[in-house]
Amino acid sequence: MEYLIGIQGPDFVLVAADNVAASSIIQMKHDYDKMFKLSEKILLLCVGEAGDTVQFAEYIQKNVQLYKMRNGYELSPSAAANFTRKNLAEYLRSRTPYHVNLLLAGYDDADGPSLFYMDYLSSLAKTPFAAHGYGAFLTLSILDRHYRPDLTREEAVDLLKMCIAELNRRFILNLPSFNVRVIDKEGIHDLEKISAGTKTDTN
Amino acid sequence: MALASVLNSDCGDFSFESTQPFPNRCGAGHSSQGFDATPGDGLSFFVKNSLSDTDDGVERKIEFLHGTTTLAFKFQHGVIVAVDSRATAGSYIASQTVKKVIEINPYLLGTMAGGAADCSFWERLLARQCRIYELRNKERISVAAASKLLANMVYQYKGMGLSMGTMVCGWDKRGPGLYYVDSEGNRVCGDLFAVGSGSMYAYGVMDSGLRQDLSVEEACELGRRAIYQATYRDAYSGGQVNLYHVHSEGWTRVSQDDVLVLHQQYKAQQ
Protein backbone atom coordinates (compact mmCIF):
# COMPACT_ATOMS: atom_id res chain seq x y z
CA MET A 1 0.00 0.00 0.00
CA GLU A 2 2.85 2.37 0.84
CA TYR A 3 5.67 3.26 -1.46
CA LEU A 4 9.24 4.43 -0.98
CA ILE A 5 11.87 5.04 -3.63
CA GLY A 6 15.47 6.23 -3.62
CA ILE A 7 17.83 7.04 -6.49
CA GLN A 8 21.49 7.83 -5.96
CA GLY A 9 23.37 10.13 -8.30
CA PRO A 10 27.07 11.05 -8.45
CA ASP A 11 26.75 13.80 -5.84
CA PHE A 12 23.17 13.58 -4.52
CA VAL A 13 20.48 11.16 -3.42
CA LEU A 14 16.88 11.64 -4.49
CA VAL A 15 14.17 10.09 -2.33
CA ALA A 16 10.39 10.07 -2.50
CA ALA A 17 7.58 8.61 -0.42
CA ASP A 18 3.82 8.57 -0.82
CA ASN A 19 1.66 10.75 1.41
CA VAL A 20 -1.11 8.41 2.43
CA ALA A 21 -1.69 7.36 6.01
CA ALA A 22 -4.25 4.58 5.78
CA SER A 23 -6.24 2.53 8.22
CA SER A 24 -7.76 -0.53 6.55
CA ILE A 25 -9.61 0.87 3.54
CA ILE A 26 -9.75 4.51 4.61
CA GLN A 27 -7.17 7.21 3.84
CA MET A 28 -6.93 9.00 7.18
CA LYS A 29 -4.46 11.57 5.92
CA HIS A 30 -3.41 12.72 2.45
CA ASP A 31 -0.32 14.70 3.39
CA TYR A 32 1.50 12.42 5.78
CA ASP A 33 5.29 12.68 5.80
CA LYS A 34 7.10 9.34 6.00
CA MET A 35 10.59 10.81 6.06
CA PHE A 36 12.46 11.30 9.33
CA LYS A 37 15.41 13.62 9.49
CA LEU A 38 18.17 11.85 11.41
CA SER A 39 20.73 14.61 10.96
CA GLU A 40 21.55 17.48 8.62
CA LYS A 41 22.39 15.12 5.78
CA ILE A 42 20.63 11.85 6.60
CA LEU A 43 17.00 10.94 5.96
CA LEU A 44 15.25 7.79 7.10
CA LEU A 45 12.18 6.74 5.12
CA CYS A 46 10.05 4.33 7.08
CA VAL A 47 6.95 2.29 6.21
CA GLY A 48 5.36 -0.76 7.77
CA GLU A 49 3.11 -1.58 10.65
CA ALA A 50 1.14 1.18 12.31
CA GLY A 51 2.83 2.45 15.41
CA ASP A 52 6.04 0.51 14.85
CA THR A 53 7.11 2.91 12.10
CA VAL A 54 6.94 6.09 14.14
CA GLN A 55 8.19 4.51 17.36
CA PHE A 56 11.21 2.87 15.70
CA ALA A 57 12.10 5.81 13.48
CA GLU A 58 11.87 8.29 16.35
CA TYR A 59 13.98 5.98 18.51
CA ILE A 60 16.71 5.89 15.85
CA GLN A 61 16.38 9.62 15.30
CA LYS A 62 16.86 10.44 18.97
CA ASN A 63 19.78 8.06 19.32
CA VAL A 64 21.57 9.58 16.33
CA GLN A 65 21.09 13.01 17.89
CA LEU A 66 22.36 11.70 21.23
CA TYR A 67 25.51 10.42 19.55
CA LYS A 68 26.11 13.87 18.15
CA MET A 69 25.64 15.47 21.56
CA ARG A 70 27.94 13.03 23.30
CA ASN A 71 30.73 12.91 20.75
CA GLY A 72 30.60 16.30 19.10
CA TYR A 73 30.27 14.98 15.57
CA GLU A 74 27.58 13.22 13.61
CA LEU A 75 27.28 9.60 12.62
CA SER A 76 28.06 8.98 8.97
CA PRO A 77 25.21 7.58 6.84
CA SER A 78 26.90 4.19 6.75
CA ALA A 79 27.31 4.11 10.52
CA ALA A 80 23.73 5.23 11.02
CA ALA A 81 22.51 2.53 8.67
CA ASN A 82 24.45 -0.14 10.48
CA PHE A 83 23.24 1.16 13.84
CA THR A 84 19.66 0.98 12.59
CA ARG A 85 20.14 -2.51 11.24
CA LYS A 86 21.68 -3.69 14.49
CA ASN A 87 18.68 -2.42 16.43
CA LEU A 88 16.27 -4.09 14.03
CA ALA A 89 18.20 -7.33 14.33
CA GLU A 90 18.21 -7.23 18.12
CA TYR A 91 14.48 -6.70 18.30
CA LEU A 92 13.78 -9.25 15.57
CA ARG A 93 14.10 -12.24 17.84
CA SER A 94 12.57 -10.56 20.85
CA ARG A 95 8.96 -10.52 21.94
CA THR A 96 8.44 -7.20 20.20
CA PRO A 97 9.95 -7.18 16.73
CA TYR A 98 9.49 -4.04 14.67
CA HIS A 99 7.77 -4.68 11.38
CA VAL A 100 9.24 -1.79 9.38
CA ASN A 101 10.82 -1.38 5.96
CA LEU A 102 13.36 1.38 5.57
CA LEU A 103 15.40 3.39 3.16
CA LEU A 104 18.25 5.41 4.61
CA ALA A 105 19.68 8.11 2.38
CA GLY A 106 22.59 10.35 3.26
CA TYR A 107 25.52 12.39 2.14
CA ASP A 108 28.90 11.90 3.75
CA ASP A 109 31.48 14.62 3.20
CA ALA A 110 34.18 11.96 2.80
CA ASP A 111 32.37 9.17 0.95
CA GLY A 112 29.75 11.07 -0.99
CA PRO A 113 26.09 10.13 -1.37
CA SER A 114 24.75 6.75 -0.28
CA LEU A 115 21.45 4.90 -0.21
CA PHE A 116 20.79 1.93 2.04
CA TYR A 117 17.94 -0.54 1.75
CA MET A 118 16.74 -2.26 4.93
CA ASP A 119 13.79 -4.51 5.52
CA TYR A 120 11.93 -5.88 8.50
CA LEU A 121 14.16 -8.94 8.68
CA SER A 122 17.04 -6.52 9.22
CA SER A 123 18.79 -7.08 5.95
CA LEU A 124 20.98 -4.18 4.84
CA ALA A 125 22.22 -3.40 1.36
CA LYS A 126 23.89 -0.34 -0.09
CA THR A 127 22.34 0.16 -3.50
CA PRO A 128 22.28 2.79 -6.24
CA PHE A 129 18.47 2.68 -6.32
CA ALA A 130 15.81 0.98 -4.24
CA ALA A 131 12.08 0.85 -3.62
CA HIS A 132 9.71 -0.56 -0.99
CA GLY A 133 6.08 -1.58 -1.20
CA TYR A 134 3.89 -3.23 -3.81
CA GLY A 135 4.81 -0.36 -6.10
CA ALA A 136 8.37 -1.64 -6.10
CA PHE A 137 7.29 -4.60 -8.22
CA LEU A 138 6.16 -2.20 -10.90
CA THR A 139 9.03 0.25 -10.75
CA LEU A 140 12.24 -1.63 -10.05
CA SER A 141 12.42 -2.78 -13.66
CA ILE A 142 12.06 0.81 -14.84
CA LEU A 143 14.96 1.73 -12.61
CA ASP A 144 16.97 -1.25 -13.89
CA ARG A 145 16.35 -0.18 -17.46
CA HIS A 146 16.90 3.57 -17.25
CA TYR A 147 19.24 4.16 -14.33
CA ARG A 148 22.77 5.36 -14.97
CA PRO A 149 25.33 6.18 -12.29
CA ASP A 150 25.98 9.61 -13.82
CA LEU A 151 22.40 10.93 -13.75
CA THR A 152 21.92 14.64 -13.30
CA ARG A 153 19.35 15.85 -10.81
CA GLU A 154 16.84 16.67 -13.53
CA GLU A 155 17.27 13.24 -15.09
CA ALA A 156 16.82 11.61 -11.71
CA VAL A 157 13.60 13.55 -11.14
CA ASP A 158 12.39 12.51 -14.60
CA LEU A 159 13.18 8.91 -13.77
CA LEU A 160 11.21 9.30 -10.55
CA LYS A 161 8.28 10.77 -12.46
CA MET A 162 8.41 7.84 -14.85
CA CYS A 163 8.12 5.47 -11.91
CA ILE A 164 5.21 7.40 -10.43
CA ALA A 165 3.48 7.53 -13.78
CA GLU A 166 3.69 3.76 -13.93
CA LEU A 167 2.15 3.50 -10.47
CA ASN A 168 -0.68 5.77 -11.52
CA ARG A 169 -1.20 3.69 -14.62
CA ARG A 170 -1.03 0.18 -13.19
CA PHE A 171 -1.17 0.15 -9.42
CA ILE A 172 -4.59 -0.75 -8.12
CA LEU A 173 -4.45 1.73 -5.24
CA ASN A 174 -4.64 5.44 -5.63
CA LEU A 175 -1.52 7.22 -4.38
CA PRO A 176 -2.35 10.82 -5.15
CA SER A 177 0.82 12.57 -4.09
CA PHE A 178 4.45 12.05 -3.14
CA ASN A 179 6.95 14.00 -1.05
CA VAL A 180 10.27 14.42 -2.82
CA ARG A 181 13.58 15.40 -1.23
CA VAL A 182 17.19 15.62 -2.36
CA ILE A 183 20.26 15.26 -0.17
CA ASP A 184 23.57 16.69 -1.31
CA LYS A 185 26.61 18.29 0.24
CA GLU A 186 24.51 21.31 1.18
CA GLY A 187 22.03 19.24 3.13
CA ILE A 188 18.41 18.19 2.65
CA HIS A 189 16.26 20.10 0.16
CA ASP A 190 12.53 19.79 -0.40
CA LEU A 191 11.49 19.48 -4.00
CA GLU A 192 8.07 20.02 -5.43
CA LYS A 193 5.50 17.41 -4.44
CA ILE A 194 4.54 15.12 -7.27
CA SER A 195 0.77 14.73 -7.64
CA ALA A 196 -1.35 12.47 -9.75
CA GLY A 197 -1.90 15.16 -12.32
CA THR A 198 1.76 16.06 -12.77
CA LYS A 199 2.96 15.99 -16.33
CA THR A 200 5.81 13.58 -16.84
CA ASP A 201 8.54 13.63 -19.43
CA THR A 202 9.06 10.15 -20.70
CA ASN A 203 12.42 9.84 -22.41
CA MET B 1 -8.21 -8.64 10.13
CA ALA B 2 -8.34 -4.92 9.94
CA LEU B 3 -11.17 -4.73 7.41
CA ALA B 4 -13.34 -7.10 9.40
CA SER B 5 -12.83 -5.08 12.52
CA VAL B 6 -13.82 -1.84 10.83
CA LEU B 7 -16.97 -3.33 9.40
CA ASN B 8 -17.68 -4.92 12.75
CA SER B 9 -18.27 -8.29 11.24
CA ASP B 10 -17.83 -11.47 13.17
CA CYS B 11 -15.94 -13.27 10.47
CA GLY B 12 -12.70 -12.34 12.17
CA ASP B 13 -10.76 -15.20 13.55
CA PHE B 14 -10.62 -14.78 17.25
CA SER B 15 -10.32 -17.50 19.79
CA PHE B 16 -12.10 -17.10 23.06
CA GLU B 17 -13.22 -18.36 26.34
CA SER B 18 -15.94 -20.93 26.37
CA THR B 19 -18.96 -19.03 27.54
CA GLN B 20 -20.98 -16.22 26.17
CA PRO B 21 -22.83 -14.16 28.77
CA PHE B 22 -26.23 -12.69 28.29
CA PRO B 23 -25.79 -8.99 27.94
CA ASN B 24 -26.85 -7.15 31.03
CA ARG B 25 -26.49 -3.68 32.38
CA CYS B 26 -24.83 -4.65 35.62
CA GLY B 27 -21.49 -4.83 33.94
CA ALA B 28 -20.66 -7.97 35.83
CA GLY B 29 -17.99 -10.31 34.72
CA HIS B 30 -17.77 -10.78 31.00
CA SER B 31 -20.18 -8.07 30.26
CA SER B 32 -20.64 -7.75 26.57
CA GLN B 33 -22.35 -4.44 26.94
CA GLY B 34 -20.60 -1.46 25.50
CA PHE B 35 -18.60 -2.17 22.44
CA ASP B 36 -16.32 -4.78 23.83
CA ALA B 37 -16.15 -7.63 26.25
CA THR B 38 -13.32 -7.50 28.71
CA PRO B 39 -11.87 -10.92 29.14
CA GLY B 40 -10.34 -12.04 32.35
CA ASP B 41 -12.46 -10.11 34.83
CA GLY B 42 -12.69 -11.52 38.32
CA LEU B 43 -16.48 -11.63 38.58
CA SER B 44 -18.23 -14.02 36.33
CA PHE B 45 -21.99 -14.14 36.17
CA PHE B 46 -22.38 -15.85 32.89
CA VAL B 47 -24.41 -18.51 31.22
CA LYS B 48 -23.22 -20.93 28.64
CA ASN B 49 -24.75 -19.98 25.36
CA SER B 50 -24.80 -22.79 22.87
CA LEU B 51 -25.54 -20.29 20.12
CA SER B 52 -22.01 -19.13 20.33
CA ASP B 53 -20.62 -22.48 19.27
CA THR B 54 -19.99 -22.86 15.61
CA ASP B 55 -20.18 -26.13 13.77
CA ASP B 56 -16.50 -26.81 13.76
CA GLY B 57 -16.42 -26.68 17.56
CA VAL B 58 -14.51 -23.43 17.67
CA GLU B 59 -16.38 -21.06 19.91
CA ARG B 60 -16.35 -17.53 18.76
CA LYS B 61 -17.10 -14.51 20.80
CA ILE B 62 -18.75 -11.79 18.85
CA GLU B 63 -16.20 -9.05 18.55
CA PHE B 64 -17.97 -5.75 18.26
CA LEU B 65 -14.87 -3.75 17.74
CA HIS B 66 -15.51 -0.17 16.78
CA GLY B 67 -19.29 -0.62 16.46
CA THR B 68 -20.00 3.05 16.49
CA THR B 69 -19.68 6.27 14.56
CA THR B 70 -17.64 9.15 15.91
CA LEU B 71 -16.32 12.10 14.02
CA ALA B 72 -14.43 15.31 14.56
CA PHE B 73 -13.29 18.09 12.27
CA LYS B 74 -11.49 21.39 12.49
CA PHE B 75 -12.88 24.57 11.02
CA GLN B 76 -12.20 28.23 11.48
CA HIS B 77 -13.96 28.47 14.83
CA GLY B 78 -12.43 25.40 16.43
CA VAL B 79 -13.29 21.72 16.42
CA ILE B 80 -16.66 20.04 16.17
CA VAL B 81 -17.00 16.62 17.78
CA ALA B 82 -20.07 14.50 17.02
CA VAL B 83 -20.79 10.96 18.18
CA ASP B 84 -23.64 8.47 18.22
CA SER B 85 -24.72 6.68 21.40
CA ARG B 86 -25.48 3.08 20.56
CA ALA B 87 -23.81 0.08 22.18
CA THR B 88 -24.32 -3.35 20.65
CA ALA B 89 -23.61 -6.87 21.74
CA GLY B 90 -23.62 -8.78 18.49
CA SER B 91 -26.98 -7.94 16.99
CA TYR B 92 -28.54 -6.96 20.30
CA ILE B 93 -28.69 -3.27 21.10
CA ALA B 94 -27.41 -3.07 24.63
CA SER B 95 -27.87 0.65 25.07
CA GLN B 96 -28.98 3.69 23.13
CA THR B 97 -27.66 6.23 25.61
CA VAL B 98 -23.94 5.72 25.92
CA LYS B 99 -21.67 8.70 26.41
CA LYS B 100 -18.94 8.33 23.84
CA VAL B 101 -17.25 11.65 24.44
CA ILE B 102 -14.89 11.66 27.37
CA GLU B 103 -14.19 15.00 28.97
CA ILE B 104 -10.50 14.76 29.71
CA ASN B 105 -10.31 18.29 31.08
CA PRO B 106 -12.12 21.57 30.39
CA TYR B 107 -10.27 22.11 27.13
CA LEU B 108 -9.58 18.56 25.90
CA LEU B 109 -12.07 15.98 24.68
CA GLY B 110 -11.57 12.35 23.76
CA THR B 111 -13.95 10.21 21.72
CA MET B 112 -14.64 6.57 22.28
CA ALA B 113 -14.68 3.79 19.69
CA GLY B 114 -13.79 0.18 20.30
CA GLY B 115 -13.76 -1.18 23.81
CA ALA B 116 -15.65 1.03 26.22
CA ALA B 117 -13.49 -0.01 29.13
CA ASP B 118 -10.27 0.49 27.20
CA CYS B 119 -11.26 3.94 26.03
CA SER B 120 -12.55 5.27 29.31
CA PHE B 121 -9.72 3.77 31.36
CA TRP B 122 -6.88 5.02 29.19
CA GLU B 123 -8.46 8.41 28.71
CA ARG B 124 -8.93 8.80 32.44
CA LEU B 125 -5.26 7.89 32.82
CA LEU B 126 -4.50 10.49 30.19
CA ALA B 127 -6.48 13.05 32.17
CA ARG B 128 -4.31 12.29 35.18
CA GLN B 129 -1.10 12.66 33.14
CA CYS B 130 -2.34 15.93 31.67
CA ARG B 131 -3.05 17.30 35.14
CA ILE B 132 0.40 16.24 36.34
CA TYR B 133 1.91 18.03 33.35
CA GLU B 134 -0.03 21.18 34.21
CA LEU B 135 1.11 21.09 37.80
CA ARG B 136 4.74 20.49 36.89
CA ASN B 137 5.01 22.99 34.05
CA LYS B 138 2.47 25.61 35.13
CA GLU B 139 0.93 25.61 31.69
CA ARG B 140 -1.73 23.63 29.90
CA ILE B 141 -0.60 20.61 27.96
CA SER B 142 -0.76 20.87 24.18
CA VAL B 143 -3.03 18.57 22.18
CA ALA B 144 0.01 17.12 20.41
CA ALA B 145 1.67 16.23 23.70
CA ALA B 146 -1.53 14.79 25.19
CA SER B 147 -2.09 12.59 22.15
CA LYS B 148 1.57 11.50 22.17
CA LEU B 149 1.24 10.50 25.86
CA LEU B 150 -1.80 8.39 25.04
CA ALA B 151 -0.18 6.83 21.96
CA ASN B 152 2.95 5.90 23.89
CA MET B 153 0.90 4.43 26.74
CA VAL B 154 -1.11 2.11 24.50
CA TYR B 155 1.85 1.23 22.29
CA GLN B 156 3.26 -0.71 25.23
CA TYR B 157 0.21 -2.98 24.99
CA LYS B 158 0.23 -3.40 21.25
CA GLY B 159 -0.83 -6.86 20.21
CA MET B 160 -2.26 -7.67 23.63
CA GLY B 161 -5.87 -7.10 22.71
CA LEU B 162 -6.59 -3.50 23.54
CA SER B 163 -9.24 -2.05 21.29
CA MET B 164 -9.39 1.70 21.18
CA GLY B 165 -9.86 4.21 18.37
CA THR B 166 -10.01 7.70 19.77
CA MET B 167 -9.73 11.26 18.66
CA VAL B 168 -8.08 13.75 20.99
CA CYS B 169 -9.56 17.17 20.35
CA GLY B 170 -8.67 20.46 21.97
CA TRP B 171 -7.54 24.00 21.67
CA ASP B 172 -4.02 25.01 22.63
CA LYS B 173 -1.68 27.87 21.86
CA ARG B 174 -1.28 26.65 18.30
CA GLY B 175 -5.03 26.84 17.75
CA PRO B 176 -7.48 23.97 17.30
CA GLY B 177 -5.88 20.54 17.57
CA LEU B 178 -7.18 17.17 16.41
CA TYR B 179 -5.32 13.87 16.64
CA TYR B 180 -6.44 10.33 15.92
CA VAL B 181 -4.87 7.73 18.21
CA ASP B 182 -5.60 4.02 18.22
CA SER B 183 -4.54 0.84 19.93
CA GLU B 184 -2.66 -0.30 16.81
CA GLY B 185 -0.17 2.48 17.44
CA ASN B 186 -1.40 4.99 14.85
CA ARG B 187 -1.21 8.63 15.77
CA VAL B 188 -1.99 11.15 13.07
CA CYS B 189 -2.74 14.83 13.10
CA GLY B 190 -5.47 15.95 10.76
CA ASP B 191 -8.37 18.23 9.98
CA LEU B 192 -11.08 15.61 9.74
CA PHE B 193 -11.50 12.10 11.12
CA ALA B 194 -14.32 9.61 11.43
CA VAL B 195 -13.85 6.43 13.44
CA GLY B 196 -15.99 3.34 13.79
CA SER B 197 -18.10 1.00 11.74
CA GLY B 198 -20.15 3.91 10.42
CA SER B 199 -17.12 6.05 9.66
CA MET B 200 -17.20 5.54 5.92
CA TYR B 201 -20.75 6.84 5.69
CA ALA B 202 -19.82 9.83 7.81
CA TYR B 203 -16.77 10.58 5.63
CA GLY B 204 -18.99 10.76 2.58
CA VAL B 205 -21.24 13.44 4.02
CA MET B 206 -18.46 15.40 5.67
CA ASP B 207 -16.08 15.44 2.74
CA SER B 208 -18.73 16.80 0.47
CA GLY B 209 -19.94 19.47 2.90
CA LEU B 210 -16.80 20.65 4.65
CA ARG B 211 -15.50 24.16 3.95
CA GLN B 212 -13.09 26.19 6.01
CA ASP B 213 -15.45 29.16 6.26
CA LEU B 214 -18.38 27.41 7.94
CA SER B 215 -20.16 29.24 10.72
CA VAL B 216 -20.56 27.50 14.05
CA GLU B 217 -24.20 26.56 13.36
CA GLU B 218 -23.41 25.26 9.90
CA ALA B 219 -20.52 23.20 11.22
CA CYS B 220 -22.68 21.74 14.00
CA GLU B 221 -25.37 20.89 11.48
CA LEU B 222 -22.81 19.22 9.23
CA GLY B 223 -21.52 17.08 12.07
CA ARG B 224 -25.04 16.21 13.15
CA ARG B 225 -26.09 15.32 9.63
CA ALA B 226 -23.02 13.17 9.06
CA ILE B 227 -23.68 11.12 12.19
CA TYR B 228 -27.36 10.84 11.28
CA GLN B 229 -26.52 9.55 7.80
CA ALA B 230 -24.12 7.03 9.30
CA THR B 231 -26.74 5.80 11.76
CA TYR B 232 -29.18 5.49 8.88
CA ARG B 233 -26.94 3.07 7.03
CA ASP B 234 -24.94 1.40 9.78
CA ALA B 235 -26.83 -1.04 11.97
CA TYR B 236 -24.36 -0.66 14.79
CA SER B 237 -24.77 3.10 15.15
CA GLY B 238 -27.80 4.95 16.40
CA GLY B 239 -29.43 6.40 19.46
CA GLN B 240 -28.67 10.07 19.85
CA VAL B 241 -26.23 12.44 18.25
CA ASN B 242 -24.12 14.15 20.91
CA LEU B 243 -22.44 17.27 19.65
CA TYR B 244 -19.60 19.25 21.23
CA HIS B 245 -17.78 22.36 20.08
CA VAL B 246 -14.21 23.05 21.15
CA HIS B 247 -13.18 26.70 21.01
CA SER B 248 -10.52 28.88 22.49
CA GLU B 249 -12.20 28.97 25.90
CA GLY B 250 -12.57 25.21 26.09
CA TRP B 251 -15.35 22.86 25.04
CA THR B 252 -19.13 23.32 25.12
CA ARG B 253 -21.81 20.70 24.88
CA VAL B 254 -23.92 21.90 21.99
CA SER B 255 -26.80 19.47 21.61
CA GLN B 256 -28.19 16.01 21.95
CA ASP B 257 -30.67 14.88 19.28
CA ASP B 258 -32.38 11.55 18.87
CA VAL B 259 -31.74 10.25 15.37
CA LEU B 260 -35.35 9.21 14.92
CA VAL B 261 -36.45 12.76 15.59
CA LEU B 262 -33.79 14.02 13.19
CA HIS B 263 -35.09 11.57 10.62
CA GLN B 264 -38.57 13.11 10.79
CA GLN B 265 -37.09 16.61 10.63
CA TYR B 266 -34.99 15.92 7.60
CA LYS B 267 -37.81 14.11 5.87
CA ALA B 268 -40.09 17.08 6.41
CA GLN B 269 -37.44 19.36 4.94
CA GLN B 270 -37.19 17.33 1.73
CA geometry: angle at A21 spanning B192 and B190, to 5°?
25
CB pairs under 8 A between A and B: 46
Residue B38 falls in the annotated catalytic set: no
Check whether B103 has a pLDDT greater than 80.
yes
Residue B257 DSSP label: E
Which residue would you say has higher pLDDT here, B8 or A60?
A60
The mean pLDDT value for B84-101 works out to 90
* Phi then psi dihedrals of residue B28, to 5 deg: -85, 140
Buried b (16+ CB within 10 A) or exposed e, A155-168: bbbbbbbbbbbbbb
pLDDT in the model for residue B99? 92
Per-residue three-class SS string for A110-178: CCEEEEEEECCCCCEEECCEEEECHHHHHHHHHHHHHCCCCCCHHHHHHHHHHHHHHHHHHCCCCCCEE
pLDDT in the model for residue B53? 41
Q: In which region does residue A185 sit, left (phi positive, over 0), alpha (psi from -120 to 50) or beta (all else)?
A: alpha
Check whether B29 has a pLDDT greater than 80.
no
CA distance B12 to chain A (A): 14
Paired strand residues for B131: none
Residue B35 DSSP label: T
The overall average pLDDT reported for chain A is 94
Lowest mean pLDDT among A69-73, B39-43, B123-127, B174-178: B39-43
Chosen from B188, B193, B201, B203 to mutate, greatest number of chain A CBs within 10 A: B188
Q: Do A50 and B184 touch (CB under 8 A)?
A: yes
CA distance B45 to chain A (A): 34
Check whether B37 has a pLDDT greater than 90.
no
Q: Output the pTM of the full model.
A: 0.80
Assign B268 to helix, strand or coil: helix
H helices within B104-258, ranges in order? 116-137, 143-155, 199-209, 216-233
Check whether B235 has a pLDDT greater than 50.
yes
* pLDDT tens digits, one per residue of B123-144: 999 999 999 999 999 999 999 9
Q: How many helices (H) and strands (E) does chain B have?
A: 6, 12
pLDDT band of residue A198 (cuts 50, 70, 90) is: low
Paired strand residues for B194: B71
* pLDDT tens digits, one per residue of B134-187: 999 999 999 999 999 999 999 999 989 899 999 999 999 999 999 999 999 999
Catalytic residue (choose from B19, B38, B54, B68)? B68
